[in-house]
Structure 1
Amino acid sequence: MATEKLIELKTDVSHSSLYNADLAPTTLEERNWSTYNFAALWVSMAHCIPTYMLSSGLIALGMDWKQAILTITLGNLIVLVPMLLNAHPGTKYGIPFPVLARASFGTFGANIPAILRAGVACGWFGINAFIGGTAVNNFFIALFPAWKTFGGDINIAGLSLPAMITFIGFLVMNILLVYKGMNSIRKFENWAAPLVLIMTFILLVWIVNEAHGFGPIFAETGKLDTWDKFLPVFVPSLTGMIGFWATLSLNIPDFTRFGKGQKEQMLGQAIGLPPTMTIFSIMGVVISSATIVVYGKAIWDPVDLLLQFSNPLVLAFSLFGIIVATLSVNIAANLVSPANDFSNIAPKHISFKTGVLITGVCAVLIMPWKLLSDPSMYIFNWLNVYSGFLGPIAAIMIADYFILRKTELNLEDLYKEQGEYSYTKGVNIMAVLALLVGVGAALIGKVVPSLSWLFDYAWFVGFGASFVSYIVLMKVMPEPVAVEETVTEK
């Protein structure tokens, strides 16, 4: 949209309760993200500790290195499709995820997918903040051994006082960095991306040397040596791989709205997501397989593995790498989206920065250390359950934008209380019904044992059910569109 028209649009809707500067369409001057910026974004987000734990967790669950790499690669190729589809309107119209959701769910109903997405992001923010805080805690212990006993037997919600202090401290560090704005995030990701890869490569060289080469590592056969044993682990694990990035497949417009064009964001994401995720996961798989050879068991938590270093300086340097890796993914993937989502609830009262603070508080209350208690909890429960919510949301948004609207949106009406997207009191009932159908189909297997196979395919089942039901409902019983009343002079 031309700058003049965009200024006119902002003037026309600036009084609306659905508008604030953080949710407004980006200007041409703000669209400065190139192919490299998008690739660097994904390299930084993929090269993170949860990715490592995802791949190493598959080894801990019994897969061999080939089975784990196949599962991870296939999952990321699949999730790239909805990622690119939802990215398109962000670049075309310069709007963030919660504003885009207004087209399908309604100007008020958009808060439903926004809050669901924000809740997941709060969990992820807490997980990464805890991982980063643990690295900081061990970093302090390596430099100042007395730090480990600081506070004595004081225990807060299952964490020692030093662990809680470093967790909160790292969380605050994330918030302060995001407060500097999106451009600071772009700059941080640009240099953090290669550093994280280098640090992981150093860890890989060290553990392979400890295992006396690749031969003993690749000789490990895993426990899932038959199809009957492999399939029950593979299916929910594949769903978990997709669920891992199902969050970003929704709110990717929060980033692509800053793209110079469709070519830049599509090419950057295609280069940045599947290849780097696979490469980094291979490193995690090899490292975890090597720990079986070296230590007799799979160590799936990289912080636990790094504690095997006896040299304090080497340990401190390695933990610094984890701190950078965790910061790079957390600020991009887990703070930008929920901040926009919470702002969408009441744009005139909740700014982007206020949304960031709300995310931080929720991340503490979730107590993420409990989600990381074991790999089955992390992969089969956390990832699969929320994929059953996010798959249906992605399906509805994609069906609405590409199938029903043919990529054409009324940008101005996305910010109006009364307009094309206000439906029934701001809610598209058909979208809500389609969401319930998808979530119900995806998660019913969690409570009905005979239908457990549906839960194993939670993202796929939810996506398919909501995609079809939304199109059918909108064709058969379309929601009424409220049109702004015009007053004519007599």
Structure 2
Amino acid sequence: MVIAPRGTAVLLDADSSLYNEDLAPTAPAGRTWTTYNYMALWFSMSMEVTTFMLASSLIAGGMNWKQAILTILLGNLIVLIPMVLNAHAGAKYGIPFPVFVRASFGTRGANIPALLRAFVACGWFGIQSWIGGQAISAIINVIWPSTIGNGAVIWFAFGGFWLLNMIVIWFGIESIRHLQSVAAPFLLTMSLGLFFFMVHKAGGLGPILHAPSHFTSTKAFWAFFFLSLTGMVGNWATLSLNIPDFTRYAKSQESQIVGQAFGLPIAMVLYSFIGIACTSASTVIFGEPIWNPIVLLGHFHQPVLAFLALISILIATLNVNISANVVGPSNDFSNVAPRYISFRTGGLITGLLGLAVQPWKLMASHTNYIGWLVSYSGLLGPVAGIMVSDYILLRKTRLDRDALYRHDGIYEYSRGFNPKAVIALIAGVMAALIGVVVPALHPLYDYAWFVGLFVSGGLYMLLMRNEVASTV
């Protein structure tokens, strides 16, 4: 069946093994997200603890504030490119990421990148749940000081926050849009409040802005810079793949492009500067850089301030955890068995796997945190390279939407798998991560996302150039 450019045709012959209500193309009535919603999406997802920690880790690693800001800005401008390119398909055809990736990997092969992305998101879900648990634990300590030092409190709080996430999942995607619309301005206000408080305690911006870089050589700086830049890109590597899960609800291409182009870099730089300033201020006040804002707040004996700040951390963490770490993997798990796994069931699977990654170990130090970002970027960069090469460079944004939901269409390849995409993926992942086991090739690991993206994207184009040309 020939489809309309914006994917408004009704699916009449979809295969039940590839289709359910959550994976179906979004109907025109469901296209409710405006430019503001996408800007709010990025502001609300950026203004949370892991962004604060990401920026703070650069200061803790030895950068001054200018070096840190430039690293963050460059990293987010880089990841914005595949983000907007992959988002185009969601807005044009109304399809989520696991359906979109069938075009390159095949109707069954799409489960490979979908599950890669899903398992990474599960790790993020665990990290965010642990942070939310820490915030609840700190709030309990503020209200009942006698609980300070009681190890059971953090585990009780962690379990409670995890359960809260499960409840929000039950109410679906629209609850996320309403939460973001309210949370974004509130979180900005609270973050600026913390910023001004810390600057005041440090004696003004002077001591913060004049803090020097702590690298003893240019070589040491560049080594840390490139590793950190890969971490910055890796921070949103998951969203650069599954962004169609959100742009499928866009009123227009302009809404998602403008909203993202302004929302992502501005929000990240703004909130990162707050994290950088607060960490630099902590060095002035306490003699050491404190990269965890929850730990930082614990150094002040200001119950009202701490309570309000921790509440804002709790809201921010809940918001980004659902938006960034549940929507995508829930759709990905649903794609494996659409008849049996709904969005809600996929969300429950995400929550259980989030516990299995033991997030308390990943958050033990800033080096563990950056290492986590770089490592998984080597898995997701290759997927992004293949997706962009297939949709933008080879297919020129033209898809047969109905064929994405059928086993007898052009995306069936060989029994549902595109072996050329799998070969390109394996090559990219090996090139990106081989430095972990071969010391002489360790520089490739420092650029893991970039290496994987270009190796897989280039090889896929080489392998598929004739095959795709005959189908578009």
Q: Which category of TM-score, normalised to the shorter sequence, fits these structures?
A: over 0.9
Name the counterpart of 1:8: 10
1:120 and 1:110 map into 2 onto residues whose CA distance is 16
- Please give the per-residue CA displacement for 1:400-440, whole angstroms capped at 9, x wherever unaligned: 11122111111111111221111111100000000011111
Asked if the contact 2:16–2:338 (Cα under 8 Å) also holds between the matched residues in 1, the reply is no
What is the distance in 1 between the residues matched to 2:186 and 2:165? 18
| Aligned amino acid, residue 324 of structure 1 | I
Query: In 2 relative to 1, CA 5–477 (structure 1 residues): closer, same or farther, beyond 3 Å?
Result: closer
Structure 1 runs (4+) deviating above 4 angstroms are 1-7, 476-481
Matches within 5 A, 1:268-279: 268-279=259-270
Q: How far has the Cα of 1:4 moved from its partner?
A: 12
| Matched residue, 2:61 | 61
Please list every run of 5 or more consecutive structure 1 residues that lacks an aligned counterpart in the other structure. Answer: 151-159, 482-490
Shift of 1:476: 6.1
Equivalent residue number for residue 28 of structure 1 = 28
After TM superposition, give the deviation of residue 313 of structure 1 in Å. Answer: 2.3
- Residues 254-288 of structure 1: CA deviation (Å, up to 9, x unaligned): 00000000001000001110011101111111111
When normalised by structure 1's length, the TM-score is 0.93
The residue type paired with residue 137 of structure 1 is: S
Within a 5 Å distance, the mapping from 1:50-449 to structure 2 comes to: 50-148=50-148, 160-379=151-370, 381-449=371-439
Q: Once the 2 structures are TM-superposed, how far is the Cα of residue 7 of structure 1 from its aligned partner?
A: 6.2
Rounded to whole Å, the distance in 1 between the matches of 2:7 and 2:263 is: 34
CA apart distance, 1:6? 4.7
For 1:459, the aligned partner's letter is W
1:8: how far off? 3.4
Amino acid at match of 1:452: H
Instruction: Identify if the C-alpha distance between structure 1 residues 201 and 478 changes in structure 2 by more than 3 Å, giving closer, same or farther.
Output: closer
User: Aligned partners of 1:2 and 1:176: how far apart in 2?
Assistant: 37
Q: Which amino acid aligns with 2:178?
A: K
Partners of 2:149 and 2:295 in 1: CA distance: 18
Aligned residue for 2:10, secondary structure, equals helix
User: CA–CA distance in 2 between the matches of 1:265 and 1:470?
Assistant: 27
| Other structure's SS at 1:12 match | coil
Q: Is the 8 A contact 2:115 2:333 kept in 1?
A: yes
1:427-454 deviations in whole A, cap 9, x for unaligned?
Answer: 0000000001111111111111111111
Q: Secondary structure at the match of 1:222?
A: coil
Counterpart Cα distance in 1 of 2:467 and 2:173: 41
For these two proteins, the number of residue pairs brought into alignment is 469
Distance 1:472 1:457 in 2: 22
Letter in 1 for 2:78: I
Whole-angstrom CA distance in 2 between matches of 1:87 and 1:6: 17
Q: Secondary structure at the match of 2:29?
A: coil
How far apart in 1 are the matches of 2:68 and 2:388?
30
Where does residue 458 of structure 2 map in the other structure?
468
Distance in 2 separating the partners of 1:322 and 1:5: 39
Corresponding position of 1:487: none
Report the AA paired with residue 464 of structure 1: F
Q: Which amino acid aligns with 2:359?
A: P
1:325 deviates by 1.0
Distance in 2 of aligned mates of 1:459 and 1:3: 32
Secondary structure of 2:367 counterpart:
helix
Q: Give the distance between the partners of 1:196 and 1:394, measured in 2 at CA.
A: 31
Shift of 1:19: 0.4
Moved more, 165-174 or 349-358: 165-174
Structure 1 CA distance for aligned equivalents of residues 211 and 152 of structure 2: 40
Change in Cα spacing, 1:3 to 1:376, as seen in structure 2 (3 Å) is closer
Give the direction of change, closer, same or farther, for the CA distance of 1:272–1:478 in structure 2 (3 Å limit).
closer
Say which SS state the counterpart of residue 390 (structure 2) adopts. Answer: helix
Cα distance in 2 for residues equivalent to 1:169 and 1:246:
28
Letter of the 2:286 counterpart: Y
The answer as to whether partners of 2:394 and 2:469 remain within 8 angstroms in 1 is: no
Amino acid at match of 1:462: G
8 Å CA contact 1:430–1:474 kept in 2: the answer is yes
RMSD: 1.8
User: 8 Å contact 1:429–1:479 — kept in the other structure?
Assistant: no
Q: Is the 1:132–1:327 Cα contact (8 Å) retained in structure 2?
A: yes
* Cα distance change on mapping 1:398 and 1:302 into 2, 3 Å: same
The answer as to whether partners of 2:6 and 2:93 remain within 8 angstroms in 1 is no
Superimposed CA distance per residue, residues 57-113 of structure 1 (whole angstroms, 9 cap, x where no aligned partner): 111111111111111011001111000000000000000000001000000000000
Partner amino acid, structure 2, of 1:198: T
- Structure 1 residues 4 and 334: CA distance shift in structure 2, 3 A: closer
1:219 CA displacement: 2.2
CA distance in 2, matches of 1:81, 1:324: 29
- The 3-state SS of whatever aligns with 2:18 is coil
* Secondary structure in structure 1 of the residue aligned to 2:17: coil
Deviations 1:109-164 (A, max 9, x none): 000000000011001111111101100011011112233466xxxxxxxxx32211
Q: Which letter maps to 2:426? A: L
In the other structure, the counterpart of 1:485 is none
Matched-pair identity in %: 51
Q: Give the C-alpha shift of residue 171 in structure 1.
A: 1.3
Shift of 1:5: 8.2
How many Å separate the matches in 2 of 1:40 and 1:478? 37
1:423–1:480 contact (8 Å) kept in structure 2: no
Tell me, in whole angstroms, the C-alpha distance in 2 between the residues paired with 1:442 and 1:123.
20
2: CA distance between counterparts of 1:405 and 1:127? 37
User: How does the TM-score come out when normalised to structure 2?
Assistant: 0.96
Deviation at 1:464, TM superposition (A): 0.5
Please give the secondary structure, in 2, of the residue aligned with 1:234.
helix
Query: Cα 1:5–1:227, aligned 2, differ >3 Å: closer, same or farther?
Result: closer
For structure 2, the residue ranges without an aligned partner over 5 or more in a row are none
The answer as to whether partners of 1:16 and 1:417 remain within 8 angstroms in 2 is no
